[in-house]
Amino acid sequence: MQGISEIQLEIVSKAEPRPFATERGSGTVCSCAAKDDTGEVQLTLWNEQCNQFNEGDKITITDGWCSLFKGQLQVSTGKKGKIEKKE
């Protein structure tokens, strides 16, 4: 897992939110595809984020993380990061 100080992306597709449960807790998760000038990446939205963002939204993630999951690069805010919609 690698920390991200800031990344700007555009959400290009969004799957339906789905419930999850682990030993650390439960909630809602949503997988998206997002892109920037360098290419496309998997974006994971958690809980209330699932309803706050949609296809076509331009976003900025600050203090998030990046990891490899099932061979695919994935970004998320994690617990301490922040996601904002750009106007």
Per-residue pLDDT tens for 17-27?
Answer: 999 999 989 99
Q: What is the DSSP letter of 85?
A: E
Please say if the pLDDT value at position 1 is more than 70.
no
Q: What is the mean pLDDT of the chain?
A: 93
Q: How far apart are the first and last CA of the chain?
A: 29
Stated pTM of the model: 0.89
Domain locations in the chain as residue ranges: 2-77
Q: What is the pLDDT of residues 69-87, one digit of tens each?
A: 888 889 999 888 999 999 7
Please say if the pLDDT value at position 37 is more than 80.
yes
Q: Tell which residue, 32, 24, 67, 63, has the closest CA to residue 50.
A: 32
2-77: CATH topology is OB fold (Dihydrolipoamide Acetyltransferase, E2P) (2.40.50)
